[in-house]
Amino acid sequence: MSESGVSRANKNRAIRQEALREQLAAQGHVQHIIDNIEKIQNLDNELESSDIHRLKTATELQLKLINKYLPDLKAVELTGQDGGAINHSIGIHFVSTSRD
C-alpha cells in the first residue's frame, strides 16, 4: 500500500474506469439514450408502437452495456488532497446557563 493509503491496484482500477468512461462518452451511448427519450417524448411526432418498441429496446441495451462496464456506485470513498487521508476535527463546546 502506498503512503496515501490507496493501493496500486485501486489506483490502476480508477485509471481504467476513467478511461472507459471517456471511451463510452466518445461513442455517444449516453447521448443516444437521451435522443431516444426525446423522440418518445415528442408529442408532435407520431410514432408507431413498433417504433416505440425499437427505441425502448435500443435504450435498454445501451444502458446494459454502460452498466456492464460502469456499474452503479454502491459507495463513494472520500479522500483528501492527492488521495491522502482526510484530517478533520470536530470541536464540542458545552455551554452552561445559570439561573439565579
Residue appearing with cell numbers 443516444: 32
Which cell is 90 given? Answer: 470536530
pLDDT of residue 73: 66
Residue appearing with cell numbers 482500477: 13
Percentage of the chain beyond pLDDT 70 is 84
Judged against a pLDDT cut of 70, whether residue 100 lies above it is answered with no
Task: Render pLDDT for 37-96 as a digit per residue (tens, 0 to 9).
Answer: 999 899 898 999 999 999 999 999 988 888 877 767 676 677 777 777 777 777 777 787
Q: By the 8 A CB rule, do 36 and 55 touch?
A: yes
Model's pTM, two decimal places?
0.51
